[in-house]
Amino acid sequence: MALSNSEIADIFNRMADMLEIKGENPFKVRAYRNAARTVQNLGKSLEDLVESGMDLTKLPGIGADLSEAITEILKTGKFSKLEALKMELPQGLDKLLSIEGLGPKRIRQLYDSFGITSLDELAKVAQSGEIYNLKGFGPKLVEKILKGVRLAKKAGRRFRFDIAKPFAEELKNYLQSFEGAIKVEVAGSYRRRKETVGDLDILVVAKNWEAVTEWFVKYEKVKEVVSKGPTRSTVILRNDLQVDLRSVAKESYGSALHYFTGSKAHNIKIRKMAVERGWKINEYGIYEGKKRLGGESEEQLYSLMGLDYIEPELREERGEVEAAMRHRLPKLVKLKDIKGDLHTHSKWTDGHASIEQMAQAAKARGYEYIAVTDHSHHLTVAKGLDEKRLREQMELIDRLNEELEGITVLKGIECDILEDGTMDLPDSVLKELDLVLGAVHYKFNLSKREQTRRVIRAMKNRYFKIFAHPTGRIIGHRKAYELDISEIFKAAKDEGVYLEINAQPERLDINDIYAKAAKNEEVGLCINTDAHDTMSLDFMQYGVNQARRGWIEKSDLLNTLPLTKLKKVLKK
């Protein structure tokens, strides 16, 4: 019973965490983290690659030892080195990793000083004040830890969309392969393309519900069968993702799909409209008294309500119903509208592919251009480029563009915004680039006023073109730093700076609400992957999901422009 790529990546990340808690060599820790990222970003399943006989050491960051580890995990479902490491370390330490502000090193520090192995023990030491005796544990961090403990105790587990996706799609295909299944669709927050998913709701129209249920519970990745009922069955998958399978009559399919897709606020709005007409809408259909008016399809439901069809990503009760009444819904951007990626990295800094490899991979995805935007030298951990190395890279790109066909490489930099708002590299080199991305990579804890002033000063640099991952958040691990977002929008519009929707699934930064607000303020946007290897270029799909949730259209985005028009915009 093979594991998915995301499950294998989880094993490697957990191994890295445990090694770091143990105090192992940082190079060994980094090797597992890099391997996890490579595995997570693969476009094909490792199971298929191994079966095809592929040499896994050709993958970025995968050496002979890690290749053997992958093979072992696929064969046994476990990693013996991780199991051995679990026996060495006290149980419970890894659970503390979910607390914001606590990394493996601090967890080790807490254990060595107080023997902490649980959330309750952590809260007790934090509340007593003893924790302040440890180096680096100040009031702000302790407040963050206590808040994290409260959240960890009451919050159910949520899965990033990209982690839930392979399970959802594979299970959907599995159910569709059953001869008696007529229609199968994943509903809920997954269908609305939310950043995270709590569980999966799958609707099925079938000739024989009991037979489909039996097929469902026999799915190889089911860990536990919670229930089997006349209209609903529930299982828990190996990664603890809950899946509810619901039986739907053919004539109610549209109403049920609408009901279980949500959001709750959107559905309430639609139901209130129906009530005003003397109708009733539920998961079974649309009714006037006992007379059934419809429910076979969502299109029919919206039409009966006098509305244009509303895409699932928009169903959040943020004005989509009013827009549908007036026939003013946005024509949402699609993946095929993207002409290029304007934020990528190469081996020159912390990437895992050459510039030529990145360019060829972009070409294979149908792009006209790709910008190589490696880090500037302030980010030493990423081997950032100083002026000399950047100029060497620019010369290489010029030579490459003479040889490449069907793709153009743009010269760029992801330039650190320093604490005082100045750029990490001088204008003398920035002006020679095709585009400059500005980014905050340190000093996240500045006050809202200081952080806003810092970013706006950077935006006033005439060569600053794109503000990368503008709020700095990492979903589930790091909150956004404080910014006066309305002031940022104003400055971006005034200075001609574009805000990035970073498509890295752990970032998705800016979020959908900010994206919609930026559009309303006529601030330019672009969707970039921040890819560090060729496979990560496929993250664009997640950025497009985020943009669609933010009402973004093709015309709102910088990188939907063809190359000739893009170059003109960049030169302004």
Per-residue pLDDT of the chain (572 residues; tens, 9 = 90+): 457 787 888 899 889 988 988 888 888 898 998 898 888 777 677 888 888 888 999 888 899 999 999 999 888 888 999 988 888 888 777 778 777 778 888 888 888 888 888 888 888 888 888 888 888 888 888 887 887 777 665 555 789 999 999 999 999 999 999 998 999 999 999 999 999 998 999 999 999 999 999 999 999 999 888 888 888 999 999 888 999 999 999 999 999 999 999 999 999 999 999 999 999 999 999 999 989 999 999 999 999 999 999 999 999 999 999 999 999 999 999 999 999 999 999 999 999 999 999 999 999 999 999 999 999 999 887 789 999 999 999 999 999 999 999 999 999 999 999 999 999 999 999 999 999 999 999 999 999 999 999 999 999 999 999 999 999 999 877 889 999 999 999 999 999 999 999 999 999 999 999 999 999 999 999 999 999 999 999 999 999 999 999 999 999 999 999 999 999 999 88
Q: Give the architecture-level CATH label for domain 252-325.
A: 2-Layer Sandwich (3.30)
The pair phi, psi for residue 550, each rounded to 5°, is -95, 15
The DSSP-derived string for 233-301 is EEEEETTS-EEEEEE--GGGHHHHHHHHH--HHHHHHHHHHHHHTT-EEETTEEEETTEEEE-S-HHHH
Give the model's pLDDT for residue 540: 98
Hunting for tokens 């957990």 — which residue is that?
A: 14
For residue 165 the two structure tokens come to 């996706």
Give a three-class secondary structure readout of 139-206: HHHHHHHHHHHHHHHHCCCCEEHHHHHHHHHHHHHHHHCCCCEEEEEECHHHHCCCCEECEEEEEEEE
* Residues with Cβ within 8 Å of residue 525, at least 6 apart in sequence: 498, 499, 500, 501, 515, 518, 519, 547, 552, 556, 557, 558
What is the SS3 assignment for 316? coil
Judge whether 509 and 12 are in contact, CB under 8 Å: no
Q: Do the Cβ atoms of 253 and 194 come closer than 8 Å?
A: no
Query: pLDDT tens digits, residue range 546-567?
Result: 999 999 999 999 999 999 999 9
SS3 (DSSP) at 542: helix
Does residue 414 sit in helix, strand or coil? strand
Please report, for residues 91, 171, 260, 402, 441, the alpha-carbon distance to residue 186 in angstroms, rounded to integers and kept in the order given: 37, 9, 9, 47, 37
pLDDT of residue 78: 85
> Going by DSSP bridges, is the β-strand pair 222-228/369-372 parallel, antiparallel, or unpaired?
unpaired
Report the distance separating Cα 543 and Cα 502, nearest Å.
6
The C-alpha atoms of residue 513 and residue 543 are separated, in whole angstroms, by 14
Residue spans of the domains in the chain: they are 5-154, 159-248, 252-325, 335-571
71-120 pLDDT, tens per residue?
A: 998 888 889 999 888 888 887 777 787 777 788 888 888 888 888 888 88
State how far the alpha carbon of 380 is from the alpha carbons of 21, 30, 442, in Å: 23, 15, 12
Q: 341: which strand partners?
A: 370
Phi and psi, residue 433, nearest 5°? -90, 160
Domain topology for 159-248: Beta Polymerase; domain 2 (3.30.460)
Measure the CA–CA gap between 438 and 419, rounded to whole angstroms: 12
Q: What pLDDT is attached to residue 244?
A: 93
C-alpha–C-alpha distance, residues 7 and 516, integer Å: 34
pLDDT of 151: 61
CATH topology identical between 5-154 and 159-248? no
Domain 5-154 fold: DNA polymerase; domain 1 (1.10.150)
Q: In Å, how far are 85, 95, 117 from 90, measured between CA atoms?
A: 10, 11, 7
What distance lies between CA 91 and its chain's CA centroid?
Answer: 30
pLDDT for position 123: 85
Fold of 335-571: TIM Barrel (3.20.20)
